[in-house]
Amino acid sequence: AKRWINIRKCYGNFYKVPRNQTKLTIMLENLGMSYDGRPHSGLDDSKNIARIAIRMLQDGCDLRVNERIHGGQLMTVSSSGPLEGAPAPQMPRYRN
């Protein structure tokens, strides 16, 4: 992966909170959620981050790639630039 969405950055920018308010447990708490699972478990952390991302989408956030690696260096991607890569994921459609 050379490009990704840093949820902490998106969360801070979208909800207008300082960086010290973007720790996983604080983000969940501010959204009225509790941490599910064991702290520092990679799988549980990922599930909780996904819950935050879903809530941000529901609140109208436009999640975009905001970080990338170029020449071994971490770079910030401008949020005003055009979208790159695959189209935004769609909610799954269930058969009746």
pLDDT along the chain (96 residues), means of 10: 92 93 94 94 96 96 92 80 45 52
Q: Which structure tokens are listed for 71? A: 């020449």
Q: Tell me, what's the pLDDT at 80?
A: 56
Q: Tell me, what's the pLDDT at 79?
A: 61
In sequence order, which residues have a C-beta less than 8 Å from that of residue 51 and are 6 or more positions away?
28, 33, 36
What is the C-alpha separation between 27 and 39, in angstroms, rounded?
14
In words, the CATH class of domain 3-76 is alpha beta
Q: Tell me, what's the pLDDT at 73?
A: 86
What residue spans define the domains of the chain?
A: 3-76
Query: What pairs with residue 4 in β-bridges?
Result: 67
Q: Tell me, what's the pLDDT at 77?
A: 86
Cβ distance 79 to 32 under 8 Å?
no
